[in-house]
Every structure is written in structure tokens, then in C-alpha cells.
Amino acid sequence: MPRFAANLTMLFNEVPFLDRFGAAAASGFKAVEFLFPYEYDKAVLKDTIAANDLSVVLHNLPAGNWAGGERGIASDPGRVAEFRDGVTRAIDYATALGCPRVNCLAGIVRPENAPQARETLVENLRFAAPRLKNAGIELLLEPVNTRDIPGFFVNRTRQALDIIDEVASDNLKLQFDIYHAQVMEGDLARTIEAEFDRIGHLQLADNPGRHEPGTGEINYAYLFRRIDELGYEGWIGCEYKPRAATEAGLGWLAPYLDKKPASTTHNKESIA
């Protein structure tokens, strides 16, 4: 049966970030993921995760000035040193939080800069992959659709896999976000089947709207069965924008979760 991780950057936004761990656990999740942990103290995060009996399954490498509109720096030839510092920082956090994988966001690139951007991305991934492997952490590369993020450099499955082939590391896999793939290329089940051995992590949202499964065009009941039949043993990250309150939209998830007792610990202290 598929296992689902709550993406705490997207879900449970009704409460401050540190309270979302408790909210996820109370809703039956056993695992969580999030975009970035870096503005929070590692010890506080670790204690919050442990108090709610959760596992962290994914976070991203540092990706530049997110609030300012940046969506990754891995393809920027002028920021290689910053990227490499970010790898060290990601290892520090992932190790402290027991997180087994981190995702690389390639960033936004102008078309005329694409050749140099690709070369930079390949070299940065070649730098990161063995260092993360030595720390016991898997590196992922994620295609992101260009409707939500115009100009995002890595935006299709085949493009990402070609880059992964060029990097030629056994510690670099594909992060396959079902929503992004549906927007850009469709043919979801066939792609998952064809590239199954190269997928290190799955994420989901429905289309259009990037809301919870069952609100759009994707046949998630079929995809979940097929993913299960293929023997996927990882987690599927719920990286969607709830159409209303998070808990009100979790009906689709009920068959896959064991509810925790209502006594699950909630951390009421937030760090801004």
C-alpha cells in the first residue's frame, strides 16, 4: 500500500510551521517533508519531529532567495561557491533530522543562457552527489513545470534523465512530481513504469489548481494501484495546496492511513 508524507510547506498552513508536525501526526501521517528547514534551529526541529513520532523523508538543497522569487541556484555559473556551501549546509541539516534524501532545484534560466546553465548544473551535481553519498543521503533532481514557474530550467522527465546520465553518479535519481509531469507531458503511468528504477521519490497534486487528489483530472486511484504493483517502497509526498482547510480535504487519504490517537503532542511554540 502506498505511503504518504505530508508536505508541511504546503499543508496545515492554518497553524505555524512547528505546529504542523503535530497536526500532521494527528491526521494520521507517519512522515513529513518540506521545502527548506534552514531558518529553524536543528535541535528544535529534531525534538519536534521526535515528539510527534514522525520521519522526515525529504527537503531541498538551499535554493537562493526564495521570498525574492529565486527557485534554485544550481544552474547559475556565478553562484557555484554558494551552491557548494549549500551542499554542506544541507548535509548538516539532513543528518541532524535523519532525512535520507535532498532535492536539487535547478532554478530559472533565460533561454540564451541554457548551454552554460546545463554545464554548471552538471558540474554542481557531480560535486554534490558523492559528498551526499558519503553522508548517507541520496540526491534528487526534479523537473518543475513552466506554467507555475516560467523559465524553470529542468522541466521535463527526459531532460532530467539526460542530465542524470551525464552526471553519471549512482547517488543521483529523479524526483517525479506527478502534478508537474501532468502539466508538461502527461502519460503518467507509462512514464512511471518506464523509469521506475530511476525514481527516488514521488510527489503529488491534482491538476488543474494543484489541489488534493480527487479535485481534478488525474486518476489517482489507478496511479496508486499501479505504483503499488510496481513495488514502490518509498514515500509519496503530498505537495499540494488544499482547496479549503487541510483536514477537510483529507478524505481521499483515509483508506491509506492509520489514525493516531488524539493525544498526539502539538508543539505550540513557533520560530519565525
- Alpha-carbon distance of 161 to 167, in angstroms, equals 10
- In 3-state terms the chain splits into helix, strand, coil percentages (rounded to 5) of 40, 15, 45
Q: How far is CA 23 from the centre of its chain?
A: 19
Q: Does residue 222 contact residue 189 with C-beta atoms inside 8 Å?
A: yes
Q: Using CA atoms in the order 101, 90, 20, 72, what is the torsion angle rounded to 10 degrees?
A: -90
Instruction: Give catalytic residues, as residue numbers.
Output: 142, 239
Q: Hey, CA dihedral for 215, 36, 30, 136, is it positive or negative?
A: positive
Helices (H) and strands (E) in the chain, counts: 8, 8
Strand partners of residue 177: 203
Angle, CA of 4, 63 and 143, to the nearest 5°: 55
